[in-house]
Structure 1
Amino acid sequence: MEISNKTIEVLKNSGWYEGRKIDITENLEFLKERGFEVFESAKKFMEEFGELKINVEKIRKNGTTKVSKHSTCIKETIGVLNSLNFGLEEYVNEKVMLIGSLYDFEIDLYISESGRIFKSIGWVGDSVWEAFDNIINEKGTIIWDKFNG
Structure 2
Amino acid sequence: MEISNKTIEVLKKSGWYEGRKIDISENVKFLEERGFEVLESAKRFMEEFGELKINVEKKRKDGSTKTSKHTTCIKETVGLGNSFNFGLEDYVDEKVMLIGSLYDFNIYLYISESGRIFDSTAWVGDSVWEAFDNIINEKGTIVWGKFKE
Q: Which runs of 5 or more structure 2 residues have no equivalent in the other structure?
A: none
Q: After the TM superposition, which of the residue ranges 119-128 and 71-80 deviates more from structure 2?
A: 71-80
User: Which amino acid counterpart does residue 102 of structure 2 have in structure 1?
Assistant: L
Aligned match of 1:50: 50
* Structure-1 residue corresponding to 2:34: 34
Q: What letter is aligned with 1:48? A: E
Q: Distance in 1 between matches of 2:61 and 2:40?
A: 42
1:55-86, Cα deviation, whole Å (9 max, x unpaired) = 00000111000000000000000016458544
* Most deviating of 90-99 and 68-77: 90-99
TM-score (norm 2): 0.96
TM-superposed deviation, 1:89:
1.6
Are the aligned partners of 2:95 and 2:112 in contact in 1 as well (CA < 8 Å)?
A: yes
Quote the Cα distance in structure 2 between the aligned partners of 1:47 and 1:2.
Answer: 22
Match of 1:10 in 2: 10
Q: Determine if the alignment matches structure 1 residue 125 to structure 2 residue 132.
A: no
List 4+ stretches of structure 1 deviating above 4 A: none
Instruction: Tell me the secondary structure at the aligned position of residue 91 of structure 2.
Output: helix
Q: Secondary structure of 2:58's partner?
A: strand
Deviations 1:25-72, CA, capped at 9 Å, x for gaps:
000000001111011100000000000000000001110000000000
Aligned residue-pair number: 149
Q: Deviations over 1:99-138 (max 9, x none)?
A: 0000000000000000000000000000000000000000
Give me the whole-angstrom Cα distance separating, in 1, the residues matched to 2:85 and 2:105.
19
- Separation in structure 2 between the aligned mates of residue 20 and residue 55 of structure 1, nearest angstrom: 19
CA distance in 2, matches of 1:126, 1:146: 15
Q: Distance in 2 between matches of 1:82 and 1:113?
A: 20
C-alpha distance in structure 2 between counterparts of 1:133 and 1:84, whole Å = 24
Is 1:68 matched up with 2:59?
no
Q: Which runs of 5+ in 1 are unaligned?
A: none
Equivalent residues of 1:35, 1:82 under 8 A apart: no
Specify the SS of the correspondent of 2:132. Answer: helix
CA contact (8 A) 2:83 2:108 kept: no
